[in-house]
Amino acid sequence: MPETLLSVRDLDMSFGGVQALSQVSFAVPAGRITAVIGPNGAGKTTAINCISGVYRPRGGRVVFNGHTINGQAPHVLARQGLTRTFQNLQVFANLSVLENVMVGLHAVTGRGFVSAMLRLPAQRAEERRIRQQAREALEFLGLQDSASLPAGQLSYGDRKRVELARALVAKPKLVLLDEPVAGLNPAETEDMGQALLAVRQQGVTLVLVEHDMSLVMRVSDQVVVLHFGRKIAQGDPQSIQRHPEVLRTYLGGRDEPIPGLDMDPAPPQEAARA
């Protein structure tokens, strides 16, 4: 059994009268991909925001790498090895692709672009290191040829990978991904899926919030299901696909099953033969 890198215990969060999270608990094993799924408004992004320090939870505990991190600022958490991407893409269109990735290291080294501008010798050396590390992150995601382009010129799919490169550049232990394939076409989704598996291969732990069930079922090691702010199920992808309450949540009241959550129907040719 791998050790637990992150655990969320009895997490509560509310906004005015809206209880966005109620007593949510789950553990994230090191080196694995944990998916968090659930219908719109289930509390997935709120959970990511509570873990990554955007919000301080109203109640409960977030324990990362043995330390309680409730309410710690995102840049402090980045230094401890916890980074994230955003549901609404956060890429600076006017900065180059390389500079967008370098931002992920400036956050960790604590030096901004202004101090880098002063160009003291030690800082110049550090700037070179930062550039080199950013190039390596781009290469890992196959974006090296776009390094000097303004990020705004890239396709949406490539910009999503730039954001992932920024989250990875400081070699974090844990990356939280809020809908990494939303808005991507099937080929881009496939690329992103491969990238996530390659990241896991490097020993990085991932928490993946996603609506694309076929991606979730393909890449995740465990799945946590939220519904109206509560955890309704947790397990491996196969058992989640058959979990009665998950099926009720996703299929109840809908005409169309959720793609990927359709209980593995036989391929059409076999169905025809049967």
Q: Which residue ranges make up the site for Mg ion (CB under 5 A)?
A: 44-45, 87
Name the minimum Å distance from CB 148 to ligand ATP.
Answer: 34
Per rule CB under 6 A, is residue 44 in the interface with ligand ATP? yes
User: In angstroms, rounded to a whole number, what is the distance separating the alpha carbons of residues 92 and 159?
Assistant: 10
Q: Rounded to whole angstroms, what are the CA distances from 101 to 147, 153, 157, 161?
A: 9, 15, 16, 10
Name the minimum Å distance from CB 151 to ligand ATP.
Answer: 23
Which region, judged by CB under 6 A, interacts with ligand ATP, from 26-34, 38-46, 190-198, 215-223? Answer: 38-46
Name the minimum Å distance from CB 215 to ligand ATP.
Answer: 14
Which region, judged by CB under 6 A, interacts with ligand ATP, from 39-47, 89-97, 98-106, 114-122? Answer: 39-47
Name the minimum Å distance from CB 135 to ligand ATP.
Answer: 33
Per rule CB under 6 A, is residue 57 in the interface with ligand ATP? no
User: In angstroms, rounded to a whole number, what is the distance separating the alpha carbons of residues 238 and 222?
Assistant: 9
Give 112 or 259: the residue with its C-beta nearer to ligand ATP.
259
Per rule CB under 6 A, is residue 182 in the interface with ligand ATP? no
Give 87 or 133: the residue with its C-beta nearer to Mg ion.
87
Per rule CB under 6 A, is residue 41 in the interface with ligand ATP? yes
In the sheet that holds 4-15, the strands lie side by side as: 18-29, 4-15, 59-64, 67-68
Name the minimum Å distance from CB 109 to Mg ion.
Answer: 30
Q: How far is CA 255 from the centre of its chain?
A: 30
Which region, judged by CB under 6 A, interacts with ligand ATP, from 12-20, 64-72, 121-129, 194-202? Answer: 12-20
From the list 28, 42, 107, 168, which residue makes contact with ligand ATP (rule: CB under 6 A)? Answer: 42
Give 44 or 227: the residue with its C-beta nearer to Mg ion.
44
From the list 40, 88, 94, 201, which residue makes contact with ligand ATP (rule: CB under 6 A)? Answer: 40
Q: Which amino acid is at 132?
A: Q
Which region, judged by CB under 6 A, interacts with ligand ATP, from 43-51, 94-102, 214-222, 265-273? Answer: 43-51
Can you give the binding site for ligand ATP, defined by CB under 6 A?
15, 18, 20, 38, 40-46, 87
